[in-house]
């Protein structure tokens, strides 16, 4: 949870929404053109800052979690200006970052989209976004801890045993 608070990692979903709101305020419209977005991206880069929501230490493609959120929004959210900005950024940012020649992954990560969804559904307590992200991860860790204790293993991974193995194991215990 502490490492998530770092500005270049988990905090990025707060940073993304802050960046979008700053751009909207600076340009004076919630419906910026792609050219206006590209100009604001270049301005951010010229100030020596990163584009939040883009890049990844390991991934070298659009983050599947970004794609899943986009697919969800395309189906359930219509006419949301902030969501539209996220999609327009997807059209312009990778080319600009790719053109810098040093960014290993110019594609969006999970944080590029999540803030726009939270805003859409009314969650405007931006400083809680990273906490929410952490809580969703904690559920996975807690589930693994329960299995680890139940099975008596020092470390548990989702695919380390099959369902059939668990059934046999429990039958042997009873
Ligand atoms: C995620 C991140 C920290 C990965 O860092 P990394 O593994 O060092 O990434 P790279 O190897 O591609 O970095 C090489 C260069 O590209 C730059 N770069 C990477 N992503 C960038 C971005 N989104 N905008 C501008 N520059 C970026 C780095 O700052 C670095 O520049 P430098 O050599 O002048 O220091 C980085 O991509 C980043 O800062 N992204 C923006 C913040 C963000 O979205 N974080 C959420 C991550 S899930």
**Tens of pLDDT, residues 72-102:** 999 999 999 999 999 999 999 999 999 999 9
Residues 109, 56 contacting (CB under 8 angstroms): yes
Among this protein's residues, is 111 annotated catalytic?
yes
Q: Say what the pLDDT of residue 10 is.
A: 65
| Other Cβ atoms closer than 10 A to 70 | 20
> Which one is predicted more confidently, 144 or 27?
27
- Of 24-28, 91-95, 118-122, 138-142, the least confident: 138-142
Among this protein's residues, is 113 annotated catalytic?
no
If you take atom 26 of ligand 1, which residue's CA is the nearest one? 50
Query: What's this model's pTM, rounded to 2 decimal places?
Result: 0.87
- What sign does the dihedral 125-70-23-105 (CA atoms) show? positive
How many angstroms is it from 63 CA to the middle of ligand 1?
14
Q: Say what the pLDDT of residue 130 is.
A: 85
Taking residues 63-80, report their average pLDDT. Answer: 97
How many angstroms is it from 28 CA to the middle of ligand 1?
28
- Of 2-11, 75-84, 135-144, the least confident: 2-11
Residue from 9, 80, 81, 88 carrying the catalytic annotation: 9
pLDDT band at 174 (very low <50, low <70, confident <90, very high): confident
Residue from 91, 111, 113, 120 carrying the catalytic annotation: 111
Can you spell out the DSSP letters for 95-136? HHHHHHS--S--SB-THHHHHHHHHHTT---GGGHHHHHHHH
Taking residues 4-13, report their average pLDDT. Answer: 76
All domains of the chain, ordered by start, with CATH?
Answer: 3-124 (1.10.230.10), 138-173 (no CATH)
pLDDT value at 140 more than 90: no
Taking residues 34-49, report their average pLDDT. Answer: 98
Mutate to test the pocket of ligand 1, among 18, 46, 50 (most ligand atoms within 8 A of CB): 50
> Which one is predicted more confidently, 173 or 10?
173
Please give all residues whose beta carbon lies within 6 A of any atom in ligand 1, as ranges: 8-9, 12, 50-57, 97, 102-105, 109-111
- Of 3-7, 32-36, 113-117, the least confident: 3-7
Among this protein's residues, is 9 annotated catalytic?
yes
The percent of residues above 90 in pLDDT, for the chain, comes to 66
Q: What is the mean pLDDT of the chain?
A: 92
């Amino acid at each position: 949870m502490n490492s998530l608070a770092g500005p270049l990692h988990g905090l990025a979903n707060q940073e993304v929404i802050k960046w979008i709101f700053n751009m909207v305020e600076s340009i004076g419209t919630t419906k910026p053109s792609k050219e206006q977005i590209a100009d604001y991206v270049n301005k951010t880069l010229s100030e020596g800052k990163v584009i939040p929501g883009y890049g990844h230490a390991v991934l070298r493609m659009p983050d599947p979690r970004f794609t899943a959120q986009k697919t969800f929004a395309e189906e359930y959210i219509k006419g949301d200006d902030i969501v539209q900005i996220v999609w327009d950024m997807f059209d312009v940012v990778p080319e600009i970052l790719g053109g810098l020649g040093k960014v290993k992954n110019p594609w969006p990560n999970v944080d590029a989209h999540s803030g726009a969804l939270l805003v859409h559904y009314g969650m405007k307590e931006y400083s809680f976004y990273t906490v929410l992200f952490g809580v969703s991860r904690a559920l996975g860790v807690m589930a693994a801890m329960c299995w680890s204790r139940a099975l008596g293993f020092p470390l548990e991974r989702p695919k380390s045993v099959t369902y059939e193995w668990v059934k046999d194991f429990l039958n042997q215990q009873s």
